[in-house]
A and B are shown apart, each in its own frame.
Chain A
Amino acid sequence: MKSKLIIAIAAMGVAVLFSSCAKVPQAEVDAATAAIQEVKDAGADLYVPEAYNALVDSMKAANEKIEVAKAKWFPNYTKAKATLAWVSQNAVDTKAKSEARKVELKAEVEAMIVEVKALVEENKALIAKAPKGKEGREALEAIKSDVAVAETTVTEVEALLANGDLIGSNDKIKAAKEKATAIKAELEEAIAKKGGKK
């Protein structure tokens, strides 16, 4: 009876000893940290900021869970590991989303470049047809200069795109499109008025 008691107490002691030696899931922490860095390098903080911020937030939560576990006599890292696994898995998804958004944005910008170039050419053709009436050539010269600015912007956008600045090029090409569309409307209106007078 006494020897059984001794064995039980000794087993408990061993259990306590082993339990308190449960290790921090460093491999999982490193993997999740590296995954987040990879996602950031893929531009996720710019292209899918909400998903990226969620990852960073979850990583923080995982670190907190690790400390919560460490603070206990019997550390249990199951919850922390689950969060770290979520981070690693979602990092893959977020990176894919970021890459997809980049492809999408690039296609949008490239399509708009084509559109603006076409608008610039249309505007040049319309300038030739535009009346030199009331406001005269000065007005047309101003429009020509406006068209030239839109044309220059397209060149700038192409340079930005080549440098991988998709967001900057997207904003700039939108402005150029707006400008070229407005010029076209102005010229078409002037030509229509001229036609109406005849």
Chain B
Amino acid sequence: MVFGKKKKIKWIIVILLSVVFIATIASIIIVSQKDLPTEDLRLAREAISLAKEAEANLYSEKLYKESLQMYDSAMVNWSRENNRFILFRDYTRVINFAKKSKKKADDSKEESIKKADNLSKNVEAAFVSLGKKIELYNKLFKDLPLSKSIFDAHNKSKMFLSESKIAHQTGKLKEAEVLFKKADIYINHANTAASQMLRGYFNDYSKWKNLANDAIAASRGGNKVILVDKVAHVLYVYQAGKAIRSFEAEFGPNWMAHKERNGDKATPEGNYRITKKKERGNTIYHKALLLDYPNEDDRRQFAIKKKKGLLQRSAGIGSLIEIHGNGGKGFNWTSGCVGLRDRDIDELYRLVSSGTLVTIVGSIEPLSVVTKGLDF
């Protein structure tokens, strides 16, 4: 009886274990036939890697981040499914996430390449445009008596442009763009301030034109007339309506202004007369032609400006404006006088006499001619 019961138990165990064994084998077969997301995940990962190589994290940030998120979601879901009982696992969502991740990574790579290409072209075009602005500054404004801030802005712009070019060469396009924008801000500041200064100065052009025309007309009777063009840095001697001689001239450092007071280093503009010829020994500047600055108009303007409080109460109108020698230094060095080379003042000294009309203007030519038609 006992033997029969034991035998029965043994058989039950055998049957149960056989069932477990068969179920296990069946599960293995079922599971092995299920589609694992391995290949999809590998493809997604590789696509992400390629997107990163194409710097999609920089140029297609949104799509790239989405592809990473999709990949992470795929991995989280895969892990979650793996934690379920083997027969109940479903990798559909995992595969979907992996496929979406790959698609986003591919798209981000493509977008990144396009954007980087466009950015590179834009930066290159910007270099050309910035180069033109720097060239414009060098052609038009470099020799003007600009303030230090304008000077510095121009030079900073050049430095940022150099940095931008280096960044561009090393493929750091975004950095190149940022640096280029900085360079652009500085050069625009420099050029705008300089052009405002130049345009502002030329507001008096019609007045200068009349003064110059009158001076030339005054020479038609046979008298010699001196006409000084400050922008061109040239002193002309006119006779019979024609320029018979011309000399390179230098002025004060603040030459792009009409003299208003003593010590302003500006050269006056208007009609003056030579009041005295100073031979060597009577001047420290080789030879000199003293002008009658300040004239009536200068005195009137000085009084008005002082009354309006535009000049300091202690300011004097200044005097001793001359055309003298010691020039040819290549820069504007006088205290407001007109400086010529010694050989030129020698010649001029012989040509003119006391009482000769001296007309000093900002420019004989209009701004468009001075700037050679350059757009600024």
Contacts and interface: CB of A to CB of B under 8 A. Distances in A.
A125 B229 CA distance: 35
B314 interface: no
Contacts of B53: 53
Counting chain B CB atoms within 10 Å of each CB, the highest count among A9, A13, A67, A150 belongs to: A67
B331 A9 contact: no
B17 A146 contact: no
B265 to A, nearest CB: 13
Interface residues of A, number: 46
Contacts of A64: 38, 41-42, 45, 75
A53 B53 CA distance: 9
Contacts of A176: 159
B13 interface: yes
B152 interface: yes
Interface in B130-144: 142-143
Contacts of A137: 329-333
A132 B331 contact: yes
Interface residues on B, range: 35 or more
Nearest to B75: A63
A153 B159 CA distance: 9
Given A60-B45, A63-B75, A71-B36, A135 B330 contact: yes
- Do most interface residues of chain A lie in helix, strand or loop, or is the interface mixed? helix
Contacts of B331: 132, 136-138, 140
A178 B155 CA distance: 14
Contacts of B210: none
Given A13-B17, A172-B163, A132 B329 contact: yes
A176 B83 CA distance: 60
A22 interface: no
B205 interface: no
Contact of A136 (B18, B27, B329): B329
B18 A9 contact: yes
Contact of A171 (B42, B152, B163): B163
13 contacts: A6-B17, A13-B20, A53-B53, A57-B49, A61-B45, A67-B78, A73-B28, A132-B330, A138-B332, A139-B143, A141-B151, A149-B159, A153-B159
